[in-house]
C-alpha cells in the first residue's frame, strides 16, 4: 500500500509559528511594556525567539545559539533580524531580564498548559517523575592544586552547584559530575513537561517528587498515577502504575504527605485492596509457601562430578 510521505516542517517554520501564537505574543507585549528608558536595543520578539531556538536545538550556551542564528538565514527571517543578529551578550542580559520578570514567564507557561489541556483531554492523568543532570561550566575541584590547600567557598565560580551522581547513557559513562539537576514531572501521553524545578546536583529526586505532584494538580490536571525511575521495570511489565503516595517509608522516617498524595494513596488502596502486612525480619509471613529452590548437591559449591 502506497502512503503519501510529507516532509516534516523545518525548525524555522516551527519557531515562526510559536512566535505568532497568542500566548507568546502576549508575553512579548508584556515584556515590551517594561521598556521605559535607555536604548531600544534588539526587538523583544527576536530575543524571545532566541530563547526558543536555544531550547528547540538543545544548545547549552548562548554563544553557540547566537552563532547558529547568525549563520542560519531561515532562522533570522523567522526572528525578524535579517540585518542585525542579537549578540551573545544581549542574550545573557535578556536571560537575566526573564529571571527578573519571572511572574510574566510563569503566566505564559500556564496559558500554554491550559491550551494543551483543552487540546488533549487525557493529558496529565499519568505522569512520570525523574531527574536529569545539568553540568555546570565551572571548576568544582575541592583543592586549588594537587596536594594544595582547600578551596574557599568564595573561590568557586559557581557556588550554588555541587557534586552529584548520574547514570550511564549510551556511550557516556556514569559517575560523578559537578552542576545541577533538573527534576521534572512529564506527561506520559504527550511527553511534555508539566512541572519542573532546578536544584543542586546532590539533591535526590524523591525529595521533590511530592512537590512536583502538587504543582501539576494546582495547574488543573487530574493526576491519577505517577511513576518514578525505580518502578519503571514494574510499570513496563504490568498494567498497574506505581503511585508516589504509596511508596514505602524511607530509612530515616516516613515523608510528610500532602493532600494530593493522600488522595492518591486512598484511591490506590481502594482499587488494589488491602496490602499484606510487612515483616521486619525479612522472612515470609506465616502460612506463605516457601519459594522453590534448587536442590544443593552433596559437594556443595564444587563442580559436578567432584570427589571428596
Task: For residues 120 and 169, give the distance between their C-alpha atoms in angstroms, rounded to a whole number.
Answer: 31
Mean pLDDT, to the nearest integer, of 167-180? 87
- Is 165 inside a domain boundary? yes
Q: Are 145 and 122 in contact (CB under 8 A)?
A: no
Q: Which domain holds residue 207?
A: 121-248+256-272
Q: Is the same domain home to 87 and 225?
A: no
Q: Is the same domain home to 131 and 84?
A: no
Q: How does the average pLDDT of the chain come out, rounded?
A: 76
Q: Are 216 and 125 in contact (CB under 8 A)?
A: no
DSSP label of 178 = E
For 187, how many CA atoms within 13 A lie in the half-sphere containing its CB?
Answer: 20
Mean pLDDT, to the nearest integer, of 34-43? 79
pLDDT bucket at 205, cuts 50 / 70 / 90: confident
Q: Are 135 and 200 in contact (CB under 8 A)?
A: no
Query: So what's the pLDDT on residue 4?
Result: 60
- Is 303 inside a domain boundary? no
Element (H, E) at 301: none
Mean pLDDT, to the nearest integer, of 141-165? 84
- Is 95 inside a domain boundary? yes
Q: Please give the tally of structural domains in the chain.
A: 2
Dihedral sign from CA coordinates of 98, 102, 108, 110: positive
Query: So what's the pLDDT on residue 295?
Result: 44
| Residues comprising the chain, all counted | 308
Instruction: Give me the residues paired with residue 176 across strands.
Output: 165
DSSP label of 172 = B
Domain boundary among 81, 106, 131: 106
Q: Is the same domain home to 102 and 125?
A: no
Element (H, E) at 129: strand 126-135
Residue pLDDT, tens place only, 123-150: 999 999 888 888 888 888 888 888 888 8
Mean pLDDT, to the nearest integer, of 5-28? 86
Mean pLDDT, to the nearest integer, of 150-154? 80
- Is 283 inside a domain boundary? no
- Against a cut of 0.75, is the pTM above it? no
Give the residue from 145, 182, 162 showing the smallest Cα distance to 153.
Answer: 162
- Distant-in-sequence, close-in-space partners of 9: CB < 8 Å, separation ≥ 6: none
Q: Is the same domain home to 148 and 236?
A: yes
pLDDT bucket at 230, cuts 50 / 70 / 90: low
What Rg value do the Cα atoms of the chain yield, rounded? 26
- Is 132 inside a domain boundary? yes
- CA 30, distance to chain mean position in Å, is 27
Q: Is the same domain home to 83 and 188?
A: no
17-20 CB contacts, 8 Å cutoff, 24+ apart: 18/52, 19/45, 19/48, 19/49, 19/52, 19/78, 19/79
Task: For residues 57 and 138, give the distance between their C-alpha atoms in angstroms, rounded to a whole number.
Answer: 23
Q: Is the same domain home to 92 and 145?
A: no
Mean pLDDT, to the nearest integer, of 190-195? 90
Torsion of CA 91, 9, 125, 187, to 10 degrees: -40
pLDDT at 19 over 60: yes
pLDDT bucket at 2, cuts 50 / 70 / 90: low
Residue pLDDT, tens place only, 103-130: 999 999 999 999 988 888 889 999 998 8
DSSP label of 250 = B
Task: For residues 277 and 288, give the distance between their C-alpha atoms in angstroms, rounded to a whole number.
Answer: 12
Task: For residues 54 and 75, give the distance between their C-alpha atoms in angstroms, rounded to a whole number.
Answer: 12
pLDDT bucket at 3, cuts 50 / 70 / 90: low
Amino acid at each position: 500500500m502506497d502512503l503519501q510521505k510529507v516532509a516534516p516542517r523545518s525548525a524555522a517554520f516551527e519557531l515562526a509559528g510559536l512566535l505568532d501564537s497568542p500566548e507568546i505574543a502576549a508575553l512579548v507585549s508584556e515584556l515590551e511594556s517594561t521598556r521605559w528608558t535607555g536604548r531600544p536595543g534588539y526587538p523583544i520578539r527576536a530575543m524571545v525567539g532566541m530563547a526558543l531556538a536555544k531550547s528547540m536545538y538543545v544548545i547549552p550556551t548562548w554563544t553557540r545559539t547566537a552563532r547558529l542564528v547568525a549563520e542560519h538565514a531561515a532562522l533570522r527571517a523567522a526572528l525578524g533580524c535579517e540585518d542585525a543578529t542579537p549578540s551573545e551578550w544581549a542574550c545573557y542580559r535578556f536571560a537575566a531580564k526573564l529571571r527578573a520578570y519571572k511572574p510574566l514567564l510563569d503566566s505564559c507557561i500556564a496559558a500554554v498548559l491550559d491550551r494543551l489541556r483543552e487540546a488533549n483531554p487525557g493529558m496529565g492523568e499519568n505522569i512520570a517523575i525523574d531527574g536529569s543532570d545539568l553540568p555546570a561550566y565551572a571548576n568544582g575541584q575541592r583543592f586549588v592544586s594537587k596536594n594544595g590547600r582547600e578551596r574557599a567557598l568564595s573561590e568557586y565560580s559557581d557556588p550554588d552547584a555541587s557534586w552529584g551522581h548520574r547514570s550511564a547513557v549510551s556511550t557516556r559513562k556514569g559517575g560523578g559530575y559537578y552542576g545541577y539537576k533538573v527534576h521534572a514531572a512529564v506527561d506520559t501521553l504527550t511527553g511534555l513537561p508539566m512541572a519542573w524545578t532546578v536544584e543542586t546536583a546532590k539533591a535526590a529526586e524523591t525529595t521533590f517528587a511530592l512537590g512536583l505532584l502538587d504543582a501539576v494538580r494546582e495547574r488543573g490536571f487530574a493526576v491519577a498515577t505517577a511513576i518514578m525511575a525505580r518502578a519503571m521495570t514494574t510499570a513496563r511489565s504490568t498494567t498497574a502504575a506505581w503511585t508516589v503516595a504509596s511508596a514505602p517509608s524511607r530509612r530515616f522516617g516516613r515523608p510528610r504527605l500532602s493532600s494530593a498524595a493522600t488522595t492518591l494513596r486512598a484511591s490506590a488502596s481502594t482499587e488494589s485492596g488491602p496490602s499484606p502486612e510487612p515483616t521486619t525480619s525479612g522472612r515470609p509471613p506465616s502460612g506463605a509457601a516457601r519459594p522453590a529452590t534448587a536442590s544443593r548437591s552433596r559437594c556443595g559449591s564444587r563442580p559436578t562430578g567432584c570427589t571428596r
